[in-house]
Structure 1
Amino acid sequence: MKKIIGFVLAFSTVPSLAFGNWFATQKSSGRSPTRASALGDPICEYYQVDVPTSQAGPPKQTISVEDLTPMLKELLKDSGMKNGVINVISRHTTTAVTINERESRLARDLEETFLAMVPADERSHPAVAKEGNRYQHNDIDQRPESEEEAQRCRDNAWDIDNPKELQRWRDQEPINAHSHLISMLLGSSEGIPVMDGRMVIGQWQSVLLVDLDGPRDRTVGVQLLGYLSKE
């Protein structure tokens, strides 16, 4: 184990990286030295990265922003990739990935603006609830509405054919339609070019994970696709 620029870098039998409170597990990797090109040896690696919330307290369906840029820089450095692209994707339906400035007052502006555009349900957490506003997705007692949706619950290990289990599933479902809708507006992924071992982003740009139903610990998927340094 060694320290690199303020982050702890750890290796195990399953390739993984730890950056402070962040933890990345490598899910797949492909390198083919026999298919080298003028750019170098190809690389294709995928990581699932745990993103702990930086905010304290239980979830209250507020909007918060986490900066993924330091973690992405360390993954890129460790991979040895010289040129290519980093793809970042949210693994949740109530988070978004975007590129913009990481600034605390702007983060509060983001929350106020999007909650004004897509206000929360009157049944949502009191911190965000908007009186008189209701969404069909939040009519939990009427879900699942179709056999297809019921099967999706079964596929995710919920025995909803059992009335008690169905009620347990309904009880844990949050009143968060507004979070889903804002996520669709912001988008769930970004691709960042890599040239000469560095992400090609603007001086004030950061790669951000926007939690729209938190604060909660989350995960993102990161794929590095390109070419290693040619020695």
Structure 2
Amino acid sequence: MTDALQTHVLHVTTGSGETVADLTRECEAFLGQAAGGRDGLLNVFVPHATAGIAILETGAGSDDDLLAALRELLPADDRWRHRHGSPGHGRDHVLPALVPPHATLPVIAGRLELGTWQSVCLVDTNGDNPERQVRLSFLG
């Protein structure tokens, strides 16, 4: 019998600018090994105070629209009380309240059960920290 809980940590380089990084293929690859064709749940968690996980369409402009909306909602200026790092970095610490640091997704017969246009994405507006970890956990 396989373990009911299996985990894997992804190491993602996001670079020095704002980014939406599609992690769907990495999630599917992990499930191919961890789920063994079983039903269960995939939890995706980013253990950083300045990044989040979003489920959205990518490649058709929605990822750029999300970053534009975040720039409008959370401008990188001097209004933030949290002031270490690059100018406006305080907004990066507010990001996880709008784009949470986790998502839990259904897995059916070992496959990620996403809608037609949905992708699992890491959202990172913090150019001060270009290296991220993302923990994938399958419970089944």
TMscore range, shorter length: 0.7 to 0.9
Structure 2 stretches lacking a partner, 5+ long: none
Structure 2 letter corresponding to 1:137: H
Residue number among 72, 82, 85 corresponding to 1:137 in the alignment:
82
3-state SS of the aligned residue for 2:68?
Answer: helix
How far residue 46 of structure 1 moved from its aligned partner, in angstroms, is 1.6
- The reply on whether 1:192 has 2:137 as its aligned counterpart is no
Q: 1:3 maps to what in 2?
A: none
3-state SS of the aligned residue for 1:49?
Answer: strand
Q: Is the 8 A contact 2:56 2:63 kept in 1?
A: no
Q: 2:11 maps to what in 1?
A: 50
Q: Distance in 1 between matches of 2:37 and 2:13?
A: 26
- The reply on whether 1:98 has 2:11 as its aligned counterpart is no
Q: 1:10 maps to what in 2?
A: none
Structure 1 letter corresponding to 2:80: Y
Q: 2:130 maps to what in 1?
A: 216
How far residue 183 of structure 1 moved from its aligned partner, in angstroms, is 2.3
How far residue 104 of structure 1 moved from its aligned partner, in angstroms, is 5.5
Matches within 5 A, 1:78-97: 78-79=33-34, 80-97=36-53
- When the two chains are superposed, the root-mean-square deviation of aligned CA atoms in Å is 1.8
Give the TM-score of the pair, scaled to structure 2: 0.88
Residue number among 25, 28, 31 corresponding to 1:76 in the alignment:
31
Identity in percent: 30
Q: Is the 8 A contact 1:183 1:212 kept in 2?
A: no
How far residue 225 of structure 1 moved from its aligned partner, in angstroms, is 0.6
- Following TM superposition, the consecutive aligned residue runs of length 4 or more in structure 1 with deviations greater than 6 angstroms are none
Q: Distance in 1 between matches of 2:60 and 2:7?
A: 30
Higher CA-based Rg = 1
Structure 2 letter corresponding to 1:178: R
3-state SS of the aligned residue for 1:218?
Answer: strand
